[in-house]
Structure 1
Amino acid sequence: MSMLSDGVSTGVGRLPAHVVAAGTGKGRPTYVYDLAALRARCAEISALPLPRKRVYFASMANDHPQVIGCVRDAGHGVFVNSRSHLQTALNAGVPPDRVLYASSNMVDEEMRHCADLGVRVVLDSVAQVGRFGVVAGPGHEIGLRVSVGFIDGATLRDDPGYRFGVRPDELPAAVAAAREHGLLIAGVHSYFGTNLPAAPLIDGIERLAEAAATLPDIAFLDAGGGFGVAMPDKPEFDFDTYTRGVRAHLERLERRVGRAVEFVLEPGRYLAANCGHFFVTVVDVKERADRVFVGTNASVAVFPRPLMYPDRAEHPCGIVGRDPLDPPDERPVYVCGSSTYSQDFLARGIRLPLPQIGDTLVFGHAGAYCRSMVTRFLGKDAPLEVILDGPSSAVSATAEVDLLAKTAVTTS
């Protein structure tokens, strides 16, 4: 977890005292978002030495309006794939020309709405190109999702079962469909995966640039793929290698097509993960010969990444206030939710000092793909959310929101 040198011990480092104060003593699981950390991440991505770049944050990672507003203030755009998230971005003050709408199997109402607003659209098939022309009319620039590979671990590979996008050999048909309806295919987009290392991501961008070079009106290249979010003691994403590789492929593409090409960068979870922390209370401890089960007042329904990605979701976890020199228990610790669902584990087989009833556990990297995935599954209490903006933020002045209340369904 990204910690400051002064603050409160969590067993894996130190968190700023105002973040810990905001996440403890609430009686319910609590997400805390530190906008200062998000702002620093936005500035870090802004500083990458890549020409003609635009940065887009995926609202599906975290659609909290204040998070979106912070991204907007940094000058970045928002990537959406639903009308609901489009409206969230607009309500947060993101200008339409800084919204990118990329979804599969778009219906007519979505296409028409995006065209009317002037939102950049990325379509997913040759048929959708033709459909957009019928619905929106001529004169629009569009993007097209192109399937050039998917990153599995550290390898870029083809996946015949990958359902998104057109194949490179379908691009001539897409260009013909666009011309028939008075459209220009101005950009290509690929999604390569999440939590990626630099090398295979660069390979994917090379393939995408090769596809882009075949399009007569190419103006932007959109590389979707989340930069790796490092666990403690693991290597950080290699930005030097990434920027060198991207620049080389962009320069080659621009030489081939004879004009400047905008580079759209989607850093994914990396942008917001470290601004969020999830606090839970230990309510039970079961010591077994070969492991320890730690029961909490939360569940995977409200901390869903371990539910969605049981083999890949990793979050630093520590005990608030525990001496960092305390050795971990010899047995692996399994942090459990408060339901009877057999897979209700917030973490499995981690190393921690033996927790005690009443302890507060904190999970790091909780600012992305956590609150956006919260579900009514299991029927447990919704978590609270607290937004902070630096050490001067008083806990009493923070916004505490019932996370599920905002999605409550009403019937008349």
Structure 2
Amino acid sequence: MPPAPALSPPPEVLNRAAHLEAPAFLLHRPTLVARLSALRAAWDAYAYPVKAQPHPDALAAAVALGLDLDVCGSEELDAALATGAEGHRITWTSPWGDAALFDRLASLGARAYLDSLDQVALWSARHPGRGAGLRLSAGPGTYGEKFGLAVADLPAALTHLRAAGCSLTGLHAHASVTAPDDPDELAAPALDVLAGAVGALDEPPATLRISLGGGWPVRPLTESAPSLGTALLEAARARLAEPLRQRGCTVTLAVEVGEHVLAPAGVYVARVAAVHDRAERRVVVLAAPWVVAPRYEDYPVGFFRPGRDGLHPLDTAPGPTTVYGASNGPADVVSRGAPLPRPQIGDLAIIGHCGAYLSTLMAPFNGRSMPPMLMVDESPAP
């Protein structure tokens, strides 16, 4: 029987869970701020990926910490601007982009990483004299094939930009290895690609922002402190920043880490709808939607029963349990096979590691409304 993943929600989260109408997401602001601050302190720059957690209060917290905001489309750009963020604190990276969006980004002074030679040509034609960055493909893998220019396309891209008087402002490559154990291993292909691009620059600019993207692993699904990618940062300094410094270029090393940092700040609260005692394992079905075919099937789960003085964790009759969401299909697995206590219909399930992506990827199955995302602050001192 596999060990149950740790689940230890802060007291204020448990208190809020006891008094809300489930299902709902709870995002713990102190945890969110602490994790964002730790990664920001380690790197030269950190662009918060809006798509990972677009709650207005989360975006406002990122802006208050001095983080940039990374957007992938017009709606995310609207959300970023609604925080009051200045245009130059916004970065844009996406495989699509039309003239209207490019015009808007340029007028704001946002930082754009162009994803293809077509985008380079469009930007150069519409905004001569305005600098832009380039996204490079990190090869086949989680992000590689769909996104970015090949290093072999770099000379053509630079020729387009220079002909229009557009300086090169940045280079970006996203991680491409599927689910390794640490961010250093995950980002190695991106680092190799960026090192090749740095070596291919015939005339480095005076300043350059180099982003190693995000996609950092979240294994195991616990509330442990975030990895700061220290070894990756040291390698990037040695292989990217130092060679450019020797050629007169000042480099800013950036990351755009989302789930790795944000997920442990949130939980999902749902009620138990059904319990089946099968021959090999117990099956628990929640009265709430979940992501169909999720990336993971080992989210930490705890069952709680409301009492006069709050929620009480269950610890009776633990056994191998598979927890499902409410869809009319078998693929929406929350946790498979972990030793969990036996709940009753109406008990609360609190699922950890739900602070990123899930609230935006979840579908309203069987007519259920999308669950709200609520921010929880630290309890005041007595």
TM-score range, shorter chain: 0.7 to 0.9
Which aligned pairs between 1:184-199 and structure 2 lie closer than 5 A? Answer: 184-193=167-176, 197-199=182-184
Determine the structure 2 residue equivalent to 1:28.
22
- For 2:159 and 2:326, locate their aligned partners in 1 and report how far apart those are by CA, in whole Å: 56
Determine the structure 1 residue equivalent to 2:12.
18
Number of corresponding residues? 366
- For 1:377 and 1:285, locate their aligned partners in 2 and report how far apart those are by CA, in whole Å: 19
Extract unaligned runs of 5+ from structure 2.
Answer: 305-310
Go from structure 1 to structure 2 and tell me whether the alpha carbon gap of 1:234 and 1:272 turns closer, same or farther (over 3 Å shift).
closer
Quick one: which of 302, 313, 325 aligns to 1:318?
A: 302
SS in 1 for 2:215: coil
Determine the structure 2 residue equivalent to 1:402.
none
Quick one: which of 121, 144, 155 aligns to 2:112?
A: 121
Determine the structure 1 residue equivalent to 2:123.
132
Determine the structure 2 residue equivalent to 1:79.
70
Q: Please report how far the alpha carbon of residue 182 of structure 1 lies from its aligned counterpart in structure 2 after TM superposition.
A: 2.2
Q: Is this contact kept in 1: 2:222–2:352, CA < 8 A?
A: no
- For 1:378 and 1:358, locate their aligned partners in 2 and report how far apart those are by CA, in whole Å: 19
The answer as to 2:61 corresponding to 1:70 is yes
Determine the structure 2 residue equivalent to 1:209.
195
Please give the root-mean-square deviation of Cα atoms over the aligned residues, in Å. 2.8
Normalised TM-score (structure 1)? 0.81
Go from structure 1 to structure 2 and tell me whether the alpha carbon gap of 1:257 and 1:325 turns closer, same or farther (over 3 Å shift).
farther
Quick one: which of 96, 100, 105 aligns to 1:105?
A: 96
Go from structure 1 to structure 2 and tell me whether the alpha carbon gap of 1:70 and 1:375 turns closer, same or farther (over 3 Å shift).
same
Determine the structure 1 residue equivalent to 2:239.
249
Q: Please report how far the alpha carbon of residue 207 of structure 1 lies from its aligned counterpart in structure 2 after TM superposition.
A: 2.7
C-alpha offsets along residues 139-166 of structure 1, whole Å, 9 cap, x if unaligned? 11101110133566xxxxx96xx12111
Q: Please report how far the alpha carbon of residue 341 of structure 1 lies from its aligned counterpart in structure 2 after TM superposition.
A: 2.8
Q: Please report how far the alpha carbon of residue 13 of structure 1 lies from its aligned counterpart in structure 2 after TM superposition.
A: 4.2
Amino acid in the other structure paired with 2:247: V
Q: Is this contact kept in 1: 2:25–2:267, CA < 8 A?
A: yes
Q: Please report how far the alpha carbon of residue 195 of structure 1 lies from its aligned counterpart in structure 2 after TM superposition.
A: 5.8
Determine the structure 2 residue equivalent to 1:183.
166
Go from structure 1 to structure 2 and tell me whether the alpha carbon gap of 1:84 and 1:38 turns closer, same or farther (over 3 Å shift).
same
Determine the structure 2 residue equivalent to 1:221.
210
The answer as to 2:289 corresponding to 1:299 is yes
Moved more, 222-231 or 138-147: 222-231
Q: Please report how far the alpha carbon of residue 93 of structure 1 lies from its aligned counterpart in structure 2 after TM superposition.
A: 1.6
Q: Please report how far the alpha carbon of residue 181 of structure 1 lies from its aligned counterpart in structure 2 after TM superposition.
A: 2.2
- For 1:259 and 1:26, locate their aligned partners in 2 and report how far apart those are by CA, in whole Å: 54
SS in 2 for 1:277: strand
The answer as to 2:81 corresponding to 1:90 is yes
Extract unaligned runs of 5+ from structure 1.
Answer: 1-9, 153-157, 394-412
